[in-house]
């Protein structure tokens, strides 16, 4: 594959791009271009029988010589651990097993995000198939806030719950849960870091609790719920339950695990990669009525993909918890009636459009605040407004983080209290910083994980909290305005083929920890460009190489991309273009597209 073969530049920069139109340096993802590194990538390619380009990409991701085949074809049986490696899992499985055998009513309290909805749906679906009555509650973000609350738990008990299970929350809720410990049995299935190591009374299954040695801390809560299901079925099997009762197919619920893992931005390596790969296959069968209907309403071409989960399903399921009825997403995931599923899917689609409008209104003001804080020398961006909708602050925090490459916290001020969400950058543990601030008495509530957190504080503590974060995460000041663009290869335009795109597709699913490969295509001109989409914020371009070959390019959210003007330059300057090369099939027609991430003028 001469044209498609990887071109290795001995210099630190790729194509000598030290400052692109997007303000970034282009560097190799694998900075170690030593001879040993090249030999390793060639050895991977030869042993796995794959093209050199794939061997190079796998080597850059740290895949060992003997693990290439397992990476390209991740099988759950190769990665699934014994659930008992999780602290308290055997106790949780035994208690749930007893509830099934004694036909108890179980109350499930889930978080209002995708992970909470998916974990609640998985557990509810499984327990109902096993014959239990299950009552659920998803809290209202504005009225109830994050985590369990006494009124909701009392409500579940009033509806008959004899066992309470918290999903994707509860680890840091000892003050709320402990008073219930003498009245009802409690199980927590969570993955958030504990606050000071103080756990609620009851059974807590959380790979991130300090005394858990499972080394499964990168699992989302839905994956923890799935492993709990594995342990539960094993216990019931040992009890002889399935000699007289049908055994559920737990693997059919892997679509929920895949959706939650992707939307909660868990690293797609090892067990997570296997869970998502198998879960996407389940999703592709279209067996879950709610998701199949949502795919139709959202006009998703390929539902069995990480992109569909992250950019179509996730935002819509989240939208209910952000600005509307919190349990809409859960109801959709559990729907078994076509009319109900259609009604819920259309409602979530509508609510998501409303969410986008609310988000856009806040983002402009947030970006102005952020620029002022950067200019003032802050390491961390802490933005707030008294008219901001608390349901979208997490999304706005993510957009601010992307723009400035700094940890960003965005809060809504109401009645003297700031409630908000935070998003971090790789290498800076924001969740730990927020927990430390709470322990220091600066916050009313606070917790999360390395890349995301939630918090609330009295307005009078805002400056002290900001100063605390600036000190704790001072390394953020040293970050460039934009991180280096990490490239995996360089192609000529004629070398950018459907065959190469198909080879790269074998590395999917893509996400955190397994980023989609970025390729640079050298020496092209944009000979045609047009704005498309409902808001005209997508650019569709035709790229032409010096050899006359052509390739379609797309730029989403063009208004946020500083390089978009270069594509629209009527003089058609000579460019290097970097992006994701994908071959997509729709109605038996294949289209090769470069999804453009950056541009460099030559």
Q: Which of 207, 224, 225 is nearest to 216 (CA)?
A: 207
Which pLDDT belongs to residue 584? 80
**Strand 445-449 to 452-458 pairing:** antiparallel
The model's pTM is 0.89
Q: How far apart are the first and last CA of the chain?
A: 26
Counting Cα atoms < 13 Å in the Cβ hemisphere of 560 gives 16
Question: Quick check: 447 and 434 in contact, CB under 8 A?
Answer: yes
C-alpha–C-alpha distance, residues 595 and 577, integer Å: 10
Inter-helix orientation angle 314-323/254-263, to 10°: 70
Which pLDDT belongs to residue 11? 43
C-alpha–C-alpha distance, residues 561 and 245, integer Å: 57
Which pair of tokens denotes residue 282?
């389940």
Residue ranges of the alpha helices (H) in 249-337? 254-263, 270-284, 289-297, 306-308, 314-323, 328-334
Question: Quick check: 540 and 486 in contact, CB under 8 A?
Answer: no
As separate numbers, helices (DSSP H) first and strands (DSSP E) second, the chain gives 21, 18
Place of tokens 């600036």: 470
C-alpha–C-alpha distance, residues 93 and 91, integer Å: 5
Question: Quick check: 411 and 393 in contact, CB under 8 A?
Answer: yes
Chain-centre distance of CA 284, in angstroms? 19
Place of tokens 């543990």: 429
Kind and range of the H or E run holding 236: helix 221-238
C-alpha–C-alpha distance, residues 105 and 134, integer Å: 6
Which pLDDT belongs to residue 535? 85
Helix or strand or coil: residue 55? Answer: helix
C-alpha–C-alpha distance, residues 190 and 213, integer Å: 15
Q: What is the dihedral of CA 558, 559, 561, 565, to 10 degrees?
A: 80
Question: Quick check: 393 and 146 in contact, CB under 8 A?
Answer: no
C-alpha–C-alpha distance, residues 588 and 450, integer Å: 43
The beta-strand segments (E) located in 381-423 are 381-385, 408-414, 417-423
C-alpha–C-alpha distance, residues 379 and 381, integer Å: 7
Counting Cα atoms < 13 Å in the Cβ hemisphere of 257 gives 27
Kind and range of the H or E run holding 95: helix 89-101
Which pLDDT belongs to residue 463? 97
C-alpha–C-alpha distance, residues 198 and 457, integer Å: 21
C-alpha–C-alpha distance, residues 572 and 568, integer Å: 8
Kind and range of the H or E run holding 531: strand 519-532
The beta-strand segments (E) located in 155-257 are 163-167, 185-189, 203-205
Q: Which of 43, 50, 39 is nearest to 72 (CA)?
A: 50
Residue ranges of the alpha helices (H) in 385-510? 393-404, 430-439, 462-472, 498-505
- Work out the number of other CB atoms within 10 angstroms of the CB of residue 355: 23
In order, the DSSP letters of 540-556 are EEEEEETTS-EEEEEES
C-alpha–C-alpha distance, residues 317 and 110, integer Å: 14
Which residues of the chain have a pLDDT value below 70? 1-11, 31-37, 196-197, 586-587
Q: Which residues contact 360 (CB under 8 A, 6 or more apart)?
A: none
Q: Which of 104, 214, 120, 129 is nearest to 168 (CA)?
A: 120
Which pLDDT belongs to residue 248? 98
| Torsion angles phi and psi, residue 102, rounded to 5 | -100, 10
C-alpha–C-alpha distance, residues 231 and 90, integer Å: 7
Vertex 305: Cα angle to 301 and 307 (nearest 5): 85
Which pair of tokens denotes residue 235?
């216990």
Which pair of tokens denotes residue 34?
């030593």
Counting Cα atoms < 13 Å in the Cβ hemisphere of 73 gives 4
Counting Cα atoms < 13 Å in the Cβ hemisphere of 500 gives 28
Q: Any idea what DSSP says for residue 191?
A: -
Vertex 479: Cα angle to 474 and 482 (nearest 5): 145
C-alpha–C-alpha distance, residues 392 and 411, integer Å: 10
Q: Which residues contact 415 (CB under 8 A, 6 or more apart)?
A: none
Inter-helix orientation angle 221-238/270-284, to 10°: 80
Q: Which residues contact 309 (CB under 8 A, 6 or more apart)?
A: 258, 259, 262, 263, 280, 283
């Amino acid at each position: 594959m001469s044209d498609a073969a990887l071109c290795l530049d001995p210099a630190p920069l790729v194509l000598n791009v030290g400052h692109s139109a997007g303000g970034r340096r282009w560097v190799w993802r694998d900075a170690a271009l030593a001879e040993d590194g090249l030999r390793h990538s060639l050895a991977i390619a030869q042993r796995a029988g794959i093209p050199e380009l794939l061997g190079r990409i796998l080597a850059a991701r740290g895949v060992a010589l003997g693990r290439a085949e397992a990476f390209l074809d991740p099988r759950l049986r190769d990665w699934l651990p014994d659930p008992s490696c999780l602290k308290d899992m055997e106790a949780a499985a035994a208690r749930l097993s007893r509830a099934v055998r004694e036909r108890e009513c179980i109350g499930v309290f889930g978080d209002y995000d995708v992970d909470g909805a998916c974990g609640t749906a998985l557990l509810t679906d499984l327990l109902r198939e096993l014959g239990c009555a299950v009552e659920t509650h998803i809290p209202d973000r504005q009225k109830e806030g994050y985590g369990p609350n006494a009124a909701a738990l009392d409500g579940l008990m009033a509806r008959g719950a004899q066992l309470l299970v918290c999903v994707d929350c509860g680890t840091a809720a000892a003050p709320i849960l402990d008073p219930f410990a003498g009245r009802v049995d409690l199980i927590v299935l969570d993955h958030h870091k504990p606050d000071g190591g103080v756990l609620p009374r009851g059974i807590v299954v959380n790979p991130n609790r300090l005394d858990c040695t499972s080394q499964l801390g990168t699992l989302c809560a839905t994956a923890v719920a799935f492993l709990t299901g594995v342990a539960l079925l094993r216990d019931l099997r040992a009890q002889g339950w399935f000699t007289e009762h049908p055994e559920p197919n737990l693997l059919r619920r892997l679509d929920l695990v895949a959706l939650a893992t992707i939307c909660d931005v868990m690293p797609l390596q090892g067990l997570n990669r296997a869970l998502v790969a198998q879960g996407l296959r389940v999703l592709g069968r279209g067996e879950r009525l709610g998701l199949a209907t949502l795919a139709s309403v959202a006009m998703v071409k390929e539902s069995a993909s990480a992109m569909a989960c992250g950019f179509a399903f996730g935002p819509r399921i989240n939208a209910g918890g952000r600005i509307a009825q919190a349990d809409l997403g859960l109801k959709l995931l559990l729907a078994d009636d076509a009319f109900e599923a259609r009604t819920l899917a259309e409602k979530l689609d509508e609510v998501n459009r409303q969410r986008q409008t609310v988000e856009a209104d806040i983002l402009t003001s947030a970006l102005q605040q952020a620029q002022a804080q950067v200019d003032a020398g802050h390491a961390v961006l802490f933005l707030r407004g008294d008219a901001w909708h608390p349901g979208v602050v997490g999304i706005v925090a993510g957009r601010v983080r992307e723009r400035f490459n700094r940890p960003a916290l965005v809060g809504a001020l109401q009645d003297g209290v700031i409630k908000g969400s935070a998003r971090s950058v790789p290498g800076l543990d924001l969740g730990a910083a927020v927990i430390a601030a709470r322990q220091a008495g600066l916050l009313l509530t606070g917790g999360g994980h390395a890349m995301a957190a939630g918090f609330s504080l009295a307005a009078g503590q805002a400056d002290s909290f900001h100063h605390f974060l600036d000190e704790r995460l001072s390394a953020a000041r040293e970050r460039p305005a934009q991180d280096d663009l990490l490239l995996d290869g360089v192609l000529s335009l004629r070398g950018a083929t459907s065959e190469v795109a198909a080879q790269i597709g074998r590395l999917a699913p893509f996400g955190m920890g397994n980023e989609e490969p970025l390729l640079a295509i050298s020496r092209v001109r944009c000979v045609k460009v047009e704005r498309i989409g409902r808001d005209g914020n997508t650019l569709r371009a035709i790229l032409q190489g010096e050899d006359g070959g052509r390739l379609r390019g797309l730029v989403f959210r063009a208004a946020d991309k500083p390089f978009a003007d270069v594509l629209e330059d009527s003089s058609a300057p000579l460019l290097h273009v970097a992006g994701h090369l994908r071959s997509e099939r729709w109605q038996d027609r294949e289209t090769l597209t470069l999804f453009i991430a950056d541009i460099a003028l030559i």
